Chain A
Amino acid sequence: KAGVTQTPRYLIKTRGQQVTLSCSPISGHRSVSWYQQTPGQGLQFLFEYFSETQRNKGNFPGRFSGRQFSNSRSEMNVSTLELGDSALYLCASSFDGDQPQHFGDGTRLSIL
């Protein structure tokens, strides 16, 4: 079956802009989590959505937000972009959140 799909794969923005990233989970998976990966910091948890509701949230500022649609697809939005937001953003899905997650290949966001 198709894996987790993230679009776009690469994105270049400038400071102050906003960006929306998209994630399509594996069919049947209801939990979608987002992570930020930066060099030396590993994967930092942003938030988890389950059945269109945010169920968990990491320690990121309010500029980072997300949502999940009825088909479990999820979007992540970052407003007022800062240079430090340059990172690989990974989406992961699982059936109900407590099993091993399946990751997409990520969106590489670069802020100029």
Chain B
Amino acid sequence: DQQVKQNSPSLSVQEGRISILNCDYTNSMFDYFLWYKKYPAEGPTFLISISSIKDKNEDGRFTVFLNKSAKHLSLHIVPSQPGDSAVYFCAASASNTGNQFYFGTGTSLTVIP
């Protein structure tokens, strides 16, 4: 049962434009959300996180938005750069169920120069 879903397997964006990656979850107990970036032959690298008490968190070119009522979060990358081309995973955890993180299936982002 996939509790965290990334319904877009791939996304292509022109360099300089905005990339928007989406993630949906089903478990209303999730209260901590993260985005990871993964290059081929490397492990995922933490990008940005947000707790359920916030609806937005920003770090440089990366902003994560959380819509708790819709059980939806998104990652915005502005402006997109060719080096952002990677697979992006969203992940979620619930503080009352221990430290188990649930990951989505990933979205492959290609930024076209």
Decide if A and B are genuine partners.
yes
Contact B98 A4 (CB under 8 A): no
Q: How many A-B residue pairs have CB under 8 A?
A: 62
A97 to B99, CA, bound (A): 6
Interchain CB contact (< 8 A) of A35 among B6, B46, B99, B103: B103
Interchain CB contact (< 8 A) of A42 among B32, B34, B99, B105: B105
A35 to B106, CA, bound (A): 14
Contact A100-B34, Cβ < 8 Å, known A33-B101, A42-B89, A56-B100: yes
Residues of A within 8 A of B105 (CB): 40-42
Residues of B within 8 A of A45 (CB): 100-103
Majority secondary structure of chain A interface residues (helix, strand, loop or mixed):
strand
Contact B89 A105 (CB under 8 A): no
Residues of A within 8 A of B45 (CB): 103
In B1-18, the 8 Å CB interface with A consists of: 2, 4, 6
Binding site for B on A (CB under 8 A): 4, 6, 31, 33, 35, 40-45, 48, 50, 55-56, 58, 90, 92, 94, 96-98, 100-106
